[in-house]
Structure 1
């Protein structure tokens, strides 16, 4: 007994029901031309994942279910059957569902049993859990159809095996995180070992606000061998041939593609997140302040690689504290990237504010400069339509080393979840490598001096970041302990070798800056706990682990 299964690793657009359906039909036609018997699409492919509170709109659910029926109708052409994720409403409950359609109708529908309710996920708020799903019999084969979280725990796959499933086809909407590939593969190996069944893991690609989806779909045969590994980030259609022997079904196709190593995977995540955000919100391009520092240089490089140099506009906005070195470095970045570069001095505006406020000093003077730069960028954005790209990194956002309504203001931030040490790693990597999907230059994207010089906001004479903060190598290790691992000050001090009073001061800065981060733009999630979907702290908060 044989069959050919096509895996459609696709992007989605949340809410674009017609567009998602059209894409599914196009990819089904491609699979049909290659002799597929069955085409599998990712989780909630009809409406996009995660749909968030759109699910609470009855009209959205109704139209999504109509799309499911229209897709089922389309299988009346003698072509391959399809498996896809969609919404299902029944008895005043809404479910995350997987549907098998063939010969013009819905053959079977199964409902997601395990609903994730941690980190970026809050599906229990939106969906009802379905019962333990039964296998689906199709063309003489008993298929197990778990949905994403259903395989993160043992019961669903165990139940499907007990009920006679011969093959597990798992549709997913699994966001990218550092080391997520290894976690997924280890998890699937556990399910394959426990059930003795081959497993197909199909994931989506593309960006959705703060989340990016890397695809990286794969197939594990019984015995634990990864026999098919699809590329990360690419939309792709892979045909897989299956045969049933004495020991059950086995994938006969061998097609193992490489996955991006670190830090290229992080760089691609940032590119994909930015490109889909800009394009789907219909911005002609992005505009950013290019200061001559490493954060804005890396942000510009990612934007050029994601959108192309003709859609990136860099503006240097010097004040009286801006060095000639920074002016030269900013120009050097723009020249290497091939994008538009303008210089607009903020000194006349600073002088006007000085006169208005009777010569403000200290932090007030510094913040005025930052806010005037953002006023300038927003004015250009209003005039020309480009989205303002902010450039602050996670280290700065953590401790409030950023200006509210200044350098924090804008539409999107690709560095939002990248610590400063990661920014240095990405910059060095990009200067030596071009990303596989990049639209930028083949060679370096920033002068070496941008990477090597001490970081500075240049808002007062001879200013350096380390005047106010510990060295980034130490600061980032403290922040990782406090943010990613949620440990106490005492434990963070033990891990990092930093004095407890220094860690306590960083914890204080971290907690009191929460009000700033609530007003920051969205940005690409790359780690375990980003500011936004993952980490939801109260703004008014008196608790400290150091007390």
Structure 2
């Protein structure tokens, strides 16, 4: 069977690690929306069923749940609605693969496996895939990593693929979207085929995925561009012209770049970590500095002011103007501010330890002790409130580093951007969120 038209929906979903039932329910919701909009096929990202691969590998129970859930979802495609193409870890002959699974006609219709495998990955490499027939169109389906070298795309094109379909799950990195588009354009030029690429949108642990799925025509033009940093379903509509498939111009949302992209990525990462791990909210220590103020702004934009408490931990080293700046930061953000003086704890430690460590470097000991008391106080309060302790870097056990690895110049750029802008998905107030004396 052949066709002259096909409508392919790109569903950039926020799937959580190990949450198979919730992840597949997200697919069901996307499929229902796609059906209402006339789609024939819904493309979902790599690892949709399981969420991103866990550091410790796929447990047998998780693989069992994935296969059971995917087969149950496959049965639902007997209703005549859109076919589904999803990523899932998949066992075959006792080995775990990165599966690309077509669900159609009430069954698992076709399986392909990710070919390129990073060193140490918890799955094995599959053979170079051939095309799969979907509603009369021969799709060259591959995982995101398989697009980075020519062999997979070239084999698919030589085997009769008509449209390249890439199920991606590449974590955010500054400039990463441009690199993905350019890599896709290179393959389009080499193979002479149009391409669609779907990417997740959401945070999970240390990783965050920006979405920004797209379609590129065989003429290398960008035909469709989805929004970034939020779940979204975008439709691509195709018509056959002689032996080529043409993608109609559709929704095109300008990509997010620069400080805004990094800020939204950090916010989405924090929100994903807190929400997917069941934290009631966040506790952020402030000392009047720029790093703490940015951490608090990210927490409020991620979770909302009602779920964030800032914590002042004044001690002998605390300047009054810095504490005033911390209080002003909390007021600008609209979140609760609590003050816990650490001097009683310092005196107690001094009373306990002074007779033993007499003659040591008192200043160094005091500095180290103040830092440890603050860290223990933060961790204890966060645990008592079932909240996430958020610091710029080096969080206490169980805490979260809001922007570890971001250099000082980028921190200032992020603060300047946020004081002048807001963006979709940010839950904090519009306007200035870091005091002028702190952030300039």
Q: What TM-score, normalized by structure 1, do the two folds share?
A: 0.77
Within the candidate set 211, 216, 228, 2:224 is matched to 228
Aligned residues of 2:379 and 2:399 also touching (Cα < 8 A) = no
Deviations 1:495-517 (A, max 9, x none): xxxxxxxxxxxxxxxxxxxxxxx
Aligned residues of 2:148 and 2:183 also touching (Cα < 8 A) = yes
Aligned residues of 1:54 and 1:60 also touching (Cα < 8 A) = no
Report the CA distance shift for 1:14/1:293 in structure 2 as closer, same or farther (over 3 A). Answer: same
Whole-angstrom CA distance in 2 between matches of 1:424 and 1:61? 44
- Report deviation, 1:140: 2.4
The answer to whether 1:432 aligns with 2:428 is no
Whole-angstrom CA distance in 1 between matches of 2:209 and 2:431? 28
Paired residue for 1:451?
Answer: 439
The answer to whether 1:195 aligns with 2:191 is yes
- Report deviation, 1:282: 0.9
Deviations 1:268-307 (A, max 9, x none): 0111011111111111111121100001100000101110
Whole-angstrom CA distance in 1 between matches of 2:383 and 2:301? 24
Paired residue for 1:42?
Answer: 45
Aligned residues of 1:390 and 1:409 also touching (Cα < 8 A) = no
Whole-angstrom CA distance in 1 between matches of 2:115 and 2:257? 33
Within the candidate set 17, 23, 31, 1:14 is matched to 17
Structure 1: 4+ residue segments shifted above 4 A: 407-410
Whole-angstrom CA distance in 2 between matches of 1:379 and 1:356? 21
Aligned residues of 1:242 and 1:253 also touching (Cα < 8 A) = no
CA RMSD of aligned residues (A): 1.4
- Report deviation, 1:158: 0.3
Aligned positions of 1:177-256 closer than 5 A: 177-256=173-252
Whole-angstrom CA distance in 2 between matches of 1:377 and 1:172? 38
Within the candidate set 133, 146, 150, 1:150 is matched to 146
- Report deviation, 1:51: 3.3
Paired residue for 1:361?
Answer: 362
Aligned residues of 1:389 and 1:410 also touching (Cα < 8 A) = no
Which consecutive residues of structure 1, in runs of 5 or more, have no partner in the other structure?
Answer: 398-406, 453-547
Paired positions, count: 432
The answer to whether 1:349 aligns with 2:345 is yes
Paired residue for 1:494?
Answer: none
- Report deviation, 1:408: 5.0
- Report deviation, 1:440: 0.8
Aligned positions of 1:368-383 closer than 5 A: 368-383=369-384
Whole-angstrom CA distance in 2 between matches of 1:112 and 1:378? 42
Which consecutive residues of structure 2, in runs of 5 or more, have no partner in the other structure?
Answer: none
Paired residue for 1:386?
Answer: 387
Paired residue for 1:330?
Answer: 326
Bigger proportion of residues as strand: 2
- Report deviation, 1:376: 1.6
The answer to whether 1:23 aligns with 2:26 is yes
Aligned residues of 1:390 and 1:410 also touching (Cα < 8 A) = no
The answer to whether 1:32 aligns with 2:20 is no
Q: Secondary structure at the residue paired with 1:299?
A: helix
